[in-house]
Amino acid sequence: MKRKIISILLVVILLQSMIFTVFATTQSDLNDAKDKLSEATKNKKAVTAEKETVLNEIEELEDQIAEYEADIKSLNNKINKMEKNIKEKNKEIEALQKDYDEKQKLLEERLVAIYEQGRITFLDVLLASENIWDYISMSSKVQQLTEADSEQMDKVEAQKNEVENAKNELEKQKKELNESKKEVQNKQTQIKTTKAKKEAKAETLTSEQKKLQTQINNYNKEIQKLEEELAKSANDYNGSYTGKFAGTLSWPLSKSSPGYNWITSYFGGRVAPVAGATSDHRAIDIGVPTGTPVLSAGNGIVISTGYNSARGYFIIIKHADNLYTLYQHLSVILVSRGKTVSTGTKIAKSGSTGIGSGPHLHFEVRTSQYYGSEVNPLDYCHW
């Protein structure tokens, strides 16, 4: 009979050991998954911020490209106008050249008629003259006619030179405009190249965002699965502290601690003491100084310890009959997950971490591990 009892005890101990090992391993995996989730969330936030910066830069580059497009359009209009003016000047030059050529031809024909036709010489003119005055008159007429034609040709030549100078000036301005256009086009090309690189970077960041979001989703699923396994392990671990709940919990602070019974916020509705705090208070707050020893309110097992932005450092203990106690805003945690504790075990030191109006102990009692099962701690314990 004794051997049978011993065998049963050994089996129970072995099972408890196995359950605890599974519990500890699951808790470790859960912590690891939460760390990875935090890192992936942080990385996604950084990638999102970088992508936003790149998109803003792309928007600025698009504005610059639009400005250069407007500049190029304006320069093209000026160049087209210049080309039109140059064509008009060319037509003027052609007309003047034609006029000049015609006048030169008339002069040549006149000279040929006067001096060459019949090989008339001044000697012939002299011999044909009745007297010296007649000779002078005939010579003067020939000279006047020649000078008039020459003046007309000089005038046309001057007009032609003036138009050619104007045309050359237009060509010079056109060249300068083309150089300006080329410079603007080069700048625009550089900006388009930069924009293309930024767009490629944005696509890479978008891909990275999707990858990180997939990781976040996977980690959340893993955490949910591990939390379910952890809850099952905690339920299986009830054998470590079997027995009926006596109906009372112990006060989580020693009577020797200053402010041990100073309740600064009761269970239920209240005015939120600080931004971010709830107005439906599902616990009691006890106003003790930072560093005050916090005691376990009953026999049980520590199923969770950690930190978040609202609770600060916290501990969750599971007791018999699916009763749970939570201790929040701690400054120091003195127990680890999976540790069995007894009533009055020193588990932490109070503090003011997380969201709060000052140092205090947030003490919470639940009838299950899930949010929404909170009950008034004063129905279970008193100092």
pLDDT tens, residue by residue, 132-152: 555 555 556 556 656 766 777
Does residue 70 lie in a domain region?
yes
DSSP reduced 3-state for 90: helix
Same domain, 223 and 355: no
The pLDDT value recorded for residue 130 is: 58
Q: What is the pLDDT of residue 14?
A: 43
205 shares its domain with 275: no
Containing domain of residue 293, as a range?
A: 263-379
Copy the structure tokens of residue 283: 């616990």
Percent of the chain at pLDDT > 70 equals 73
Together in a domain, 147 and 284? no
Please identify, among 232, 251, 280, the residue that sits at the C-terminal boundary of a domain: 232
| 12 within some domain | no
Inform me whether the pLDDT recorded for 114 exceeds 80.
no
One domain for residues 361 and 286: yes
Percentage of residues in the chain having pLDDT higher than 90 = 25
- Number of domains making up the chain: 2
Residue 47 and residue 184 in one domain: yes
Weakest-pLDDT range from 106-115, 172-181, 200-209, 220-229: 106-115
pLDDT tens-digit profile of 22-52?
Answer: 444 565 676 677 778 788 888 888 888 988 8
Classify residue 16: in a domain, yes or no.
Answer: no
- Running DSSP on this structure, what letter comes out for residue 344? T
- In terms of domains, do 170 and 96 share one? yes
> For 333, which DSSP code?
E
The closest alpha carbon to 181, from 84, 69, 83, 81, belongs to: 69
pLDDT above 90 for 342? yes
Alpha-carbon distances, residue 145 vs 98, 153, 299, 304 (angstroms):
21, 13, 139, 124
Whether 206 and 277 share a structural domain: no
Give 209-214 contacts, CB < 8 A, sequence gap 24+: 209/44, 209/47, 209/48, 209/51, 212/40, 212/43, 212/44, 212/47, 213/44
CA distance 303 to 300: 9
Which of 232, 249, 282 finishes a domain?
232
Provide DSSP, 28-58. Answer: HHHHHHHHHHHHHHHHHHHHHHHHHHHHHHH
By DSSP bridging, strand 284-286 and strand 263-265 are antiparallel
HEC per residue, 276-329: CCCCEECCEEECCCCCCEEECCCCEEEEEEEEECCCEEEEEEECHHHCEEEEEE
Residue 246 resides in a domain: no
Residue range 53-71: average pLDDT? 85
- Tell me the pLDDT band of 10, cut-offs 50, 70 and 90: very low
Give 131-170 as a DSSP string.
Answer: SHHHHHHHHHHHHHHHHHHHHHHHHHHHHHHHHHHHHHHH
Taking the CA of residue 310 as centre, how many other CA atoms within 13 Å lie in the half-sphere pointing to its CB?
4
Shared-domain flag, residues 275 and 180: no
Domain match, 125 and 186 both: yes
Q: Tokens 């767009």 — which residue?
A: 199
Does the residue 98 lie in any domain? yes
Q: Domain of 326: which CATH number?
A: 2.70.70.10
Query: So what's the pLDDT on residue 145?
Result: 59
Residue 311 lies in a domain: yes
For the stretch 243-270, pLDDT in tens is 444 457 999 999 999 989 999 889 987 6
- Domain boundary among the residues 183, 216, 232 is at 232
**Contact between residue 23 and residue 318 where contact means Cβ atoms under 8 Å apart:** no
| 88 and 147 belong to one structural domain | yes
> What's the longest Cα–Cα distance across the chain?
181
Backbone angles phi, psi at 351, to 5 degrees: -165, -150
241 occurs within a structural domain: no
| 209 shares its domain with 358 | no
What pLDDT sits at residue 131?
Answer: 56
82 pLDDT exceeds 80?
A: no
* pTM attached to this predicted model: 0.41
Q: Is residue 327 part of a domain?
A: yes
User: What end-to-end distance do the CA atoms of the chain give, in Å?
Assistant: 46
Q: In which band, very low, low, confident or very high, does the pLDDT at 61 lie, cut at 50, 70 and 90? A: confident
The residue to which tokens 């003490």 are assigned? 363
Return the pLDDT at 355.
Answer: 81
For residues 267-293, average pLDDT: 77
Report the alpha-carbon distance of residue 168 to residue 230 in Å, rounded. Answer: 91
Residue 64 pLDDT: 83
Residues 291 and 153 in one domain: no
- C-alpha distances in Å from residue 302, one per residue of 45, 194, 333: 33, 57, 11
